[in-house]
Structure 1
């Protein structure tokens, strides 16, 4: 019985060492990123900050995703704005051309109505080409449950 146990242990040790040896070290030159093998992808970007750097980075991130050669023509994107993020849609701020460029590429632009009510902001203060959702958080929750990736830069 002792010989069988030792033989079994030796066999397991040999098999595990072979499996370990098959795992090659990571080689950066062999890695080229994920393959976009699906027909389409969906992403919702969340913006809830009025910080200029955060706003610019978020807009740039969306544009970069749309221009990624793996995703080009396969990506449906939505920008959900709430809280301080409302700054990106205000007529008095300098983001109109960037936001219009995203919309021209098919990005859905959605502003949270709760934010407008809580901050006493009129829809007239915002660009007239954006859409509205009752709740930014609600939109994100629903989209995530529908299979959309959620990005919060």
Structure 2
């Protein structure tokens, strides 16, 4: 009887050790696959706020490179950042777009202000509702940052 108990204890120990190794190993792999995802809200037409945004984008890309995914959502007064006739940041937007940063404008803002999509720079995309896009991204686990004032 003692022999069976010893064998049972040894079997339980080995099984538990094996299970722990199986559980621990995938966690180590997942840590390496983590990607930073950031949604940035811009609702200001202040060119100093735009410069601050560009500086933050530069710092994110320099610090984390391809391990950071960023989406800038412009709505309200911030839509002017994406307007061809108003923006002072076209070259920076082009540079950051080529690095994988997305810039999107709010269609509600365009409609309310009677701005045509043709007035928006081609580097930008569109979302139906800027604030809704921000909420969806947060629900997906993205980090939220408000840029400007």
TM-score, structure 1 as length reference: 0.72
Aligned to 1:152, the other structure's residue is in SS state strand
Moved over 6 A (4+): none
Q: Assess if the C-alpha contact under 8 Å between 2:47 and 2:88 holds in 1.
A: no
In structure 2, the partner of 1:89 is 82
Q: Assess if the C-alpha contact under 8 Å between 1:45 and 1:62 holds in 2.
A: no
Aligned to 2:65, the other structure's residue is in SS state coil
Q: 1:149 aligns with which of 121, 143, 147?
A: 143
In structure 1, the partner of 2:121 is 127
Question: 1:39 offset after TM fit, Å?
Answer: 2.4
Q: Assess if the C-alpha contact under 8 Å between 1:43 and 1:77 holds in 2.
A: yes
Question: 1:72 offset after TM fit, Å?
Answer: 2.1
Q: Assess if the C-alpha contact under 8 Å between 1:80 and 1:111 holds in 2.
A: yes
**Unaligned residue ranges in structure 2 (runs of 5+):** 1-30
In structure 2, the partner of 1:54 is 49
Q: 1:137 aligns with which of 131, 135, 140?
A: 131
- Over aligned residues, Cα RMSD in angstroms? 1.4
Q: 2:61 aligns with which of 66, 75, 88?
A: 66
Aligned to 2:69, the other structure's residue is in SS state strand
Give the whole-Å Cα distance in 1 for the aligned partners of 2:130 and 2:141.
17
**Unaligned residue ranges in structure 1 (runs of 5+):** 1-35
Higher relative contact order (CA 8 A, sep 6+): 2
Alignment of 1:21-32 (within 5 A): none
Question: 1:38 offset after TM fit, Å?
Answer: 5.8
TM-score, structure 2 as length reference: 0.74
